[in-house]
Structure 1
């Protein structure tokens, strides 16, 4: 019994020693953490009190500095105002000296934003001048609601200065200004300062300055206003001005001081508020860190205790895992790694360590993104891994992810990773197993093939020709380069349009059926021969213009072994247009040659016809002179005017021929001041004979009081006669002879066109014929172009040349009927300048 008891007592100290050792192991760090927390709390509290004291001292210092700035500014302003008043009073009657004093006042006002207005008041209390005279601020001072209060405050301040013989300030004046005005905040509260000018104990005048309370805050430096908010308040805590509308925190520091800006100044206080919160964020973060560290240590101690309880079990599992890993390492050359349910790496084999260059110790425990992933692809690989892990359980086939691994030496290895669930012996998933295969070489080969194909496609995309391939069996567009897609879209429609339509498609199908009958192994070489180039014209639907293409096509075997048609179309529109332009140039050269020939003929005709026409005119005048006084008065009244008219027409014909000759020689019109109504009446008189012969009529409408115009009357008369004849011919074609009595007359009118500057003379000839076709109206003024069988095509060309030689314009415009369904005539319009230009251009 004694031995047994001895052994029991001998074991108790060992048990107690273990308990004490466990107590030290667990509670000693906990007591140390508590003591550390208490000490840190005391230190933090002391630092907070010290920081608060420093902030309050800095706040008082900045407030005192701002107060000194404002007081110093007002003292300087008072001295400058006294100097300006002294100069103005001492100037006497010198206007220049007074003007210099006013200029000094203007400079003072411009350099001090707190001043809104400066006024000079003489010894009789009359305002002699003020600056600024008129601006956005002074307009509100003169409003009915504000002028009374401002003037009353100024009058009281003047009385106070007069009584004390020293500068005085008025009470604060609240103005009525809408809040939406730009300067509403700036001039909301104002007050006066008067500075008397004393000479020989007499006040010779006063300088009155209107200050704004908001402007007083402009005296404070901007860097202070950025850190603090300054407010001007009265004794009854009424806010007069504030430096910022931004609210300060509830726990912000604040201080206030009385602002004495002068001897006789109203009571005014300056308050300063801090923007940052009173509590330092760093202090809170330190407290949070201390508490967090303490909690973390407590949790760590608790975790250690828990780990101690399962240590034996963990050692057994570790031995099993070690055997399992050894088997895997010795059985596979593929890189393998295992993950737990939290995606952390739990195992890597030597092959995987060789791929990454990292040791197993460094890799185990890493979470995605892993250190062996390239820096620029970590987000992409993390997303791929998460997606693969979600779908790994639902798919029987292993998931393959193509990625890359960054070796520790800096080299990149391209890999394909297969992921599958890791199931234990109880059928429960404990993580995932990933196997990696190095695919650097196969991928390099694929990339080279892709690059080669990309270069080939880039060359085709850069061609300025449409390249397209269409399946011979289905008619599907197999390939189209950039030029084809821009012109014809992504369908095979443009291919068949270039190839000749559906006929070519049917031909392709027949060739396919015919190729099936050929002997196997013998290529149908006749199918692959390139066709001759063809020029195809297509309409561009986007622009509405025609495009010309040079098309070459052939049949080729496609990559899948099927027969396909290759087509190459080159845009040759520019070349076709150049050929057309060359033909047009040839035609113009022919026209020029014909014009030259016509000019030579006109010159010869003018020379040959002048003498017969002169003889006719002389004979008519001679017959008229011999008949005068020898005929019966009644016969003389009928015969003599006819002979005179015949002579005038012969003279006119000779003048026209001279004008044509001058036109051929490129001479200037013989201008003179003319009445356009006379020229129009002469033209109507000349054409009316032919009009009556065809049972047609002409009506003229001439505006009243038209000015005289500088022009060549003979040439203008020639133009009007030509246009009237053309209009009569147009009406004759529409109305048959039996119904011409109901045809509307051909109208000729003259008025002023005031839509242009300067105004121009407008002459219009309007008919009710069939109008002019669009194709004709574009070329009707070209030489040798005529729609008449017996016409030479020179009439309208000469008319336009005559009008343009007068610096005018001539054009034609069709008219539509009331229902806007068909043409109902044409109007020729002439615009002529009222005055002859200084520089005249030749015909």
Structure 2
């Protein structure tokens, strides 16, 4: 139903009135509850406040009365003591009057519980008499533990009275009394009142009365003490006396005032506390009735409010559900129609009318065959409908029927129809309800998807790369093309071999588990992010290389999966490796060629001056032979011969180096290893002596002749000796090199292996070789020296391996195994060459 703006404006007041009425119905009981509770609270609070004020007023009156009684008693006692002083002053010569004054003092002690003793003292503080008379049983004042304390306070009070010429009080005295005396508690705290006897302006004596604080409370009537508790306190709230030990309630009323018992009296405060009043049954019953009525009224109003709320909630829920059902029926794209037991259409929704092009009034009451069925398929559709209705008579199972309807404009629509029985509130079937779904577009899409899937599968199957998809949850293989199946089979092992190690797989599973716990949907930052290409070598020993790309994709079931595309690059890797090896060989050959040219040039240039030096030395020796003094001949000729010999030796070394550089393959011949080691030591000794170092040789006896290239082996030994000398030279400063251990070279047979081999070891006492250098020291062009080329050890190992031997280095540690103490290079050479074995 639609309204114009004017109609909406007219209906607005009615809506506001309906809202106000609903507000009044809901909140009136609640407002009544609040008002009733507030009024009753005010009444009860007023009564309680009034009762409290009355109790406080009565407490103040009783406290004032008690204070007045105590003050009156102290005033009467002062007057009585003053009267006794006058009689004592007039009876100095009359013994009878003095006896009467003493009797009056005893009467005061007997009739006043607060006074326990009266003493008469003369002007020199000498005691004249005591009332009542002292006895052994009751003489607690003069006891040793209290006598000094009481006497000291009495003297201080007398001094105060003498100075002021007035009645004076002492401080409070806390006594230590025996517990076996029945009145010890009443006399525990006492104080003195001293009244001076003044005659003619001079003090002729003092009358002292000993008060107990507990006795002061006896002045208060017993009726008051039965209703209230009285307490005497000092200024610092210290208790002096208390009328009763009975406890008082926590909320008892209290009041306090100061007792002004004299000008020179100590400050004493009197406090009054209320006891629980007697139960006022009538008042409490009235309060209980009122509270009960209040609770009943509140409960009644609350029940009415809850019932109204339940009713309004039910009405609101009914309206909401009705509106929801209406909106759902109008908004759903599913066409719905209802039939009675005679198959007449009894209801259609808006979607069904839009689907067929017929109005609801035109469709109501129609029976099969319906006008929205195609003429060519009416009999078929009637039979399908009857069969479906018969199947559903005994149950409520829905049956889907795929069919077709024709719109009023002649357009055909592919549909799927579901039929279910209509059951009323009594459980009786009253008809059927059918729902139609337009499947024209989904059917077309499915056909297109099937064709697209076929084309896509054809493309993937023809690729020369392995394509696989694996679930991150179950690690199951979801898809694999032909290339993958031919090389890795039908499981996911090949996928994980290409994807990476176990840590990568664990990370993938963790990602899947996190996504399961997260809200629905896969985060977009996980999807379609292609990783960089990675080259992976299979670990199955096939030496195959693949270029792998990975990305996360959502699979058809909504879960996260991993897509992997692997291209076989084994041929390319082999070509790259071969090209790299050839490049390294070219560089190596180029450097060797350069080194050979430099060595040949150096040998050619040095041979001529060395030959000239040798010839000149020999010529001089011949000229001097027989022409000099025999003594000079013995000194000069040997030196010239040695110079000529060393020049010849230098030429021989240069020739050997030149021959070594020119040779490309070992020229084996039977050689004695001791001669090779001696030649190497001779070549290196000159440099060793120049750096103040030495070399020692340990060659085993009876070593066999070995078939090898002496020049190449000589070069290896020379290189190792020079490296050993450099290590010792770096470890020891110049000043201490004469004490440095010598470089050792040894040769013997290694018999711990079979067959036995010739072993040569070069050991130094330098700083050793770090572990990171040991791994790369035999690689080409690797050197730790700033001016080194990095070819020495590589050439040495190549020479030894060309002789089918081995060369390695090990560090030597000190005796405490704490630091490096040198290095040992070991050479193992076979005693027989492979060529000689083949000849045998």
- What TM-score, normalized to structure 2? 0.36
Q: Which has the larger radius of gyration?
A: 2
- What TM-score, normalized to structure 1? 0.36
